[in-house]
Structure 1
Amino acid sequence: MSQMTAIYEQLRDSILSLKMAPGERFSERSLESRFSGSRTPIRAALARLETDGLVAREERSWIVTPISLDELEQAIEFRQVIEVEVVKLACARAQPADIAVIEEILASCKDDSSRAAWHRVGSDFHVELARLTNNGFYIRAVEDLMIRLSRARWLEVWTVEGRDRSWDEHHVILNFIREGRVDEAVAAIASHIDGVRSRNIGSRLTDVPSHQVRGFSVVGKAS
């Protein structure tokens, strides 16, 4: 793994897990000290994060992109369309071996697993559903959506109740796909996405404990 890739992945994890808060400002010099590296790979990593929409340049420094409620609404609207089509195709194209892979991913999280592990498995679940379509456009669209929605989705794994709910809903969706029950699979994925939206956009975005997220910045308005 190159130094740039290692820096990118560490910064990305810090941002997505909210260890680096939305709206938090930082400098390239501070990252040089943190990673004991030269500025070239740091700038390359920041450029990649900027493409992901996770950081933005602000004069001579950088800022972790604030969470935009308007953008989240748009992303979830797009997600509803994309993932409904994903499960339709998955019902027609999924093979038993493909389903087994996703079951193993879900089973990798236990009661004592970290929030980070639950968050990662949740993202992987949706990306792997997209792989069942055998269509690279759907796969890339869902991968991008998981990144764009990742910080808001952390709230879904913040509590045991939230983790249990996700586990149950993911298994329901997968079982309908396994059985080729298209209408039920579509209804289940639509309900899952709408539930995440209604629970996590708006007031709950500021419910993360202050010791975990400093200077939390949310812009726009929930509809």
Structure 2
Amino acid sequence: MDTTQDPVLQEPGTQGGRRLTARVRVYEALRGELLSTAVSPFTRYTEENVAERFGVSRTPVRDALARLEADGLLVKRDGGLFRYTPTVTEFTDLYELRVLLETCGLDRAIDDPTIRHDTGAIEAELVVWQERSDAGILPDAGFVTADEQFHTVLLGAAGNAELVGALQRVNRRIRPVRMHDYLTQDRVNATISEHIAIGELVLSGSLRQARDALRTHVGQSQSIVRARAARAMHLMQLAP
């Protein structure tokens, strides 16, 4: 590893905060940018323009871009790296897989009475969501990460880590479109109340009702963002 090309830098915006290597600083900054609504799918990321922008060498930038590509946030196209936006077909297929994975966690507990959910994990997650409900959360694209956390905790509570890993991979691929689901107050409010309701159903042992509520919850999200995925694909087809 070429540590001479990877200086330690103070993280901006912190008070005596943690010190970051250049590659981590660039990675985290670009990751936050790609998860926001500010980046066009036509913005090209290259080692040269990113290195110039952050005032670092190309070595840490190369590592950061490789990580972002592995995360599924950047894809190679036309000799450069661009923000990943799934096609309509990809989006539909990935959402179908998401539903299968999430309901599988409940189905395995329904089919096998010896499988018990980790109620402590669910209870702890519900405390967080109740606090959000009480505080009132404003619309924000970054809310998608909080939503993903609930769903991975719920699935993980059923005891199959491989299902969780598969769900996380699906989430990374649909996240660039899904984040647009949380730009209106009604969607944020509905997500919070539905998460609480689903979690409480699981804790009460009403697993079939929880599964039905989960399907409805995910299906509503899919229908809302499907149009946005179609629009993004249309824009990409119009690009020169």
1:131 to 145, 156, 162: 156
- Residue 106 of structure 1: CA displacement? 1.6
Distance 1:149 1:12, change over 3 A: same
Q: Bigger CA drift: 11-20 or 181-190?
A: 11-20
User: When the two structures are superposed, what TM-score results if normalisation uses the length of structure 2?
Assistant: 0.77
Q: TM-score, normalised by structure 1?
A: 0.83
Q: Identify if the C-alpha distance between structure 1 residues 58 and 206 changes in structure 2 by more than 3 Å, giving closer, same or farther.
A: closer
Give the Å deviation of 1:205: 5.9
Match of 2:87 among 68, 81, 96: 68
- Counterpart residue type for residue 40 of structure 2: A
**Which of the residues 159, 179, 185 maps onto 2:210?**
185
Moved more, 29-38 or 103-112: 103-112
Count residues with an aligned counterpart.
212
- The separation in 2 between residues aligned to 1:204 and 1:78, in whole angstroms, is 17
For residues 21 and 115 of structure 1, the distance between their equivalents in structure 2, rounded to whole angstroms, comes to 17
Q: What is the alpha-carbon distance in structure 2 between the residues aligned to residue 149 and residue 204 of structure 1? A: 10
- How far is 1:74 from its partner? 0.8
The answer as to 2:150 corresponding to 1:102 is: no
Once residues 200 and 121 of structure 1 are traced to their aligned partners in structure 2, the CA distance between those partners, rounded to angstroms, is 17
State the superposition RMSD in angstroms.
2.6
Unaligned runs of 5+ in 1: 208-214
Number of the residue aligned with 2:62: 43
1:122 to 113, 134, 147: 147
- The residue type paired with residue 204 of structure 2 is E
**Residue 53 of structure 1: SS of its match in structure 2?**
coil
1:163-182 CA distances to partner (integer Å, 9 max, x unpaired)? Answer: 11111211111111111111
Q: Which residue of 1 aligns with 2:193?
A: 168
Deviates more, 1:67-76 or 1:143-152: 143-152
Q: Name whichever of 49-58 and 163-172 sits farther off.
A: 49-58
The alpha carbon displacement at 1:119 in A equals 2.4
Quote the sequence identity (%).
Answer: 23
Larger radius of gyration: 2
Query: Which one-letter code corresponds to 2:116 in the other structure?
Result: R
CA distance in 1, matches of 2:90, 2:79: 26
Give 2:5's aligned residue: none
**1:33 aligned to 52, 64, 88, which one?**
52
Matching of residue 156 in structure 1 with residue 156 in structure 2: no
